[in-house]
Amino acid sequence: MTSDKKLTGAEEFNICGVLVHARRERAADVGEVLAALPGIEVHQRTDDGRLIITIEDTPQRMASETLADIHKIDGVLSASLVYHQTDPDSSMEETQQ
């Protein structure tokens, strides 16, 4: 499910810090799936199945949509938003340069 709104360079910069808790035995696989998704960067993974990630808006999807979809990944127990920042003075084009 994606938003009808397509993001453009005129949109504000949006980033979310998320703590993902995965089944211990699936944590490595979950990390690989997350890393392959546009707008997601995996920063840390612990032995007990916790992953620290950031999600940014992409031209195709808002970060909130990506966060909602993380709950559907096999092995994910929870995904909690722990940090959120928007910068109305920065466009996505400026941050991608």
pLDDT, one tens digit per residue, over 1-25 is 444 445 454 567 899 999 999 999 9
Domains in the chain, CATH or no CATH each: 18-96 (3.30.70.920)
Query: Quick one: average pLDDT of 16-43?
Result: 97
Q: With a cut of 50, say whether residue 95 has pLDDT above it.
A: no
What was the pLDDT predicted at 27? Answer: 96
pLDDT, one tens digit per residue, over 61-83 is 999 999 999 999 999 999 999 99
Which pLDDT band, with edges at 50, 70 and 90, does 87 fall under?
confident
With CA atoms as reference, report the closest residue to 75 among 18, 25, 17, 41.
25
The rounded distance, in Å, linking the Cα atoms of 1 and 26 is 25
What does the buried/exposed string (b/e) look like for 47-76 if buried means 16 or more CB atoms within 10 Å of the residue's CB? eebbbebebbbbeebbbebbbeebeebebb
